[in-house]
Structure 1
Amino acid sequence: MWPPDPEPDPDPEPAGRSQPSAALPGLRALLPARAFLCSLKGRLLLAETGLSFIIFVCYVASSASAFLTAPLLEFLLALCFLFADAMQLNDKWQGLCWPMMDFLRCVTAALIYFAISITAVAKYPDGASKAAGVFGFFATIVFAIDFYLIFNDVAKFLKQEDSAHETTADKAEEENSDSDSD
């Protein structure tokens, strides 16, 4: 008999434990990705990616095919940001301003989806255009929630940085001042 029957595993893993196999060390690199995908930001990026793909497919099947470029670009950008955030590339590449790029991506996507969804629902009579418009409104809401959360994070960061800058400026001013009060 070829191939020979595999020998039974002498120490099988108990049910419910899922650890990456030693034979597949690359799976250990995906563990941070799993934790990210369970976070709110990860879920928002997954929703943005999925909605953008669904809207793209709807526009391909509709008579409003002039609008299919925007969902395709948003799908690719959301996929890139999903990959970058899941693999923690934003921590490795410090030269890029990741929060600002993500904020601008979300703001422009929300505005573009809102505009093309209104046009698709109002101007084109076929069902695929209407479906793309409805999904576009959902995508507008998801992107708006994402840019609101990003804006709050950036505002908190800037407030912390500004207060740290003020304390160092106050210390420098106290050191430079003439304090001859004798």
Structure 2
Amino acid sequence: MGDIEAPESSPPPRTLLLSLLPTKEFASSRKGMLLIAEVALSLVSFVCFAASTAAAFVTVPLLEFLAALFLLFAYSTKFNERFKGFLWPLMDFMRCVTASIIFFIISIIAVSKYGGDASKAAGVFGFIATIVFALDFYLIFNELANFLKQGRESNDEPSRQQDEFSDSDSD
């Protein structure tokens, strides 16, 4: 009767700054690790391009950094689940395809045409970013293909049932 119950063990409230960071569960997931790698590589590539003689290519890493940062925020805070009107996987797929192609092109140009260590470093980080973006779009493509394949199989079953039903009616 006189026992004092222990308060429920709820997680401590997150501060504003901590709420902007991805949760531990998302950061350790495959998508979380890919997005964190994309953000980091785009930022490093941006800094290298800004410091090099190939500064004309600084826009691409900056835009990819901002897009990857936005998607990292959206996926980690489940912002994407609130807006069902957007096709988030398709948008992410298109971002990764264009990023990998453009990073590959500007990295080749930075390594071959421009001299200097910063240009070479920007090209190397651009090639690494190309691989990470390509891996991400490959995994997204597989997930989309499996989703569409499952949808097609569930759509085929009712049509088979209707065919079987109409065949039994004609007997």
Name the TM-score, length of structure 2 as normaliser.
Answer: 0.86
1:67 alignment partner, one of 47, 57, 74: 57
| Matched AA of 1:40 | R
1:20 alignment partner, one of 11, 30, 52: 11
Q: Return the alpha-carbon distance in structure 1 between the equivalents of residues 121 and 149 of structure 2.
A: 42
1:86 aligns with 2:76: yes
> CA-to-partner distance for each residue in 1:126-180, whole Å, 9 max, x for gaps?
1111100000000000001111110110011000000011112222334445624
> CA-to-partner distance for each residue in 1:24-71, whole Å, 9 max, x for gaps?
366897898321111011000000000000000011111111000000
Name the TM-score, length of structure 1 as normaliser.
Answer: 0.81
Q: Return the alpha-carbon distance in structure 2 between the equivalents of residues 164 and 157 of structure 1.
A: 11
Structure 2 gap segments, 5+ residues each: 1-9
Aligned to 2:7: none
Distance 1:25 1:33, change over 3 A: closer
Where in structure 2 are the equivalents of 1:1-182 lying within 5 Å?
20-21=11-12, 24=13, 33-177=23-167, 179-181=169-171
> CA-to-partner distance for each residue in 1:11-36, whole Å, 9 max, x for gaps?
xxxxxxxx732xx3668978983211
| Matched AA of 2:85 | G
| Matched AA of 2:57 | F
Supply the RMSD in Å over aligned alpha carbons: 2.3
Corresponding residue pairs, total: 162
Q: Return the alpha-carbon distance in structure 2 between the equivalents of residues 137 and 48 of structure 1.
A: 12
Q: Return the alpha-carbon distance in structure 2 between the equivalents of residues 81 and 57 of structure 1.
A: 21
Structure with greater Cα Rg: 1
Structure 1 gap segments, 5+ residues each: 1-18
| Matched AA of 2:82 | K
Per-residue deviation, 1:89:
1.9
Tell me, yes or no, if the aligned pair for 2:22 and 2:72 is still in contact at 8 Å: no
> CA-to-partner distance for each residue in 1:69-118, whole Å, 9 max, x for gaps?
00000000000110111011222211111111111100100000000000
- The structure carrying a bigger helix percent of its residues is 2
